[in-house]
């Protein structure tokens, strides 16, 4: 299984495109700046935010008066259940409860 992981920096007043696979999941996390993401329903996203994209085969990014730096990640969905609690992510609630128990007993990482 392959994944794409890009660290992208764009100057102000720039437009950038990324071709995606229709069966893959794509998301971005913005470190610095803000930009407009998407071509169907463009949305301006500020720094310290993430966006999950679910449709399309082309990502459009357009900056205005500020530079931007973001991570872009793309890969095939795992299609597994997700149980999330604070800093721990597991597949089931039972696994999550066991992880917190092990964490409190100092046995979490073996």
Give 15's DSSP letter. E
Which is more confident, 97 or 54?
97
In this prediction the pTM is: 0.73
Task: Check pLDDT > 70 for residue 110.
Answer: no
Strand-pairing partners, residue 89, are 84
CA distance to 68, 83, 89, 101, per residue, from 108 (Å): 37, 17, 13, 8
Q: Which two tokens stand for residue 63?
A: 């900056």
Could you give the 3-state DSSP secondary structure of residue 54? coil
16-41: b or e for each residue (b if 16 or more CB lie within 10 Å)?
Answer: eebebeeebbbebebeebbbebbeee
In this predicted structure, what is the pLDDT of residue 54?
A: 76
In this predicted structure, what is the pLDDT of residue 13?
A: 96
How many CB atoms lie under 10 A from the CB of residue 45? 21
**Architecture in CATH of 3-75:** Sandwich (2.60)
* Mean pLDDT confidence for 77-94: 88
* Mean pLDDT confidence for 6-16: 97
């Amino acid at each position: 299984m392959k994944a794409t992981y890009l660290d992208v920096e764009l100057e102000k007043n720039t437009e950038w495109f990324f071709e995606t696979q229709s069966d893959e999941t794509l998301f971005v996390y913005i470190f610095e700046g803000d930009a407009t993401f998407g071509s169907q329903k463009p949305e301006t996203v500020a720094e310290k935010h993430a966006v999950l994209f679910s449709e399309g085969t082309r990502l459009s990014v357009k900056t205005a008066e500020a530079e931007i730096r973001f991570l872009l990640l793309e890969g095939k969905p795992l299609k597994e259940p997700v149980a999330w609690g604070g800093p721990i992510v597991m597949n089931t609630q039972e696994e999550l409860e066991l992880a917190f128990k092990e964490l409190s007993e100092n046995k979490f990482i073996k």
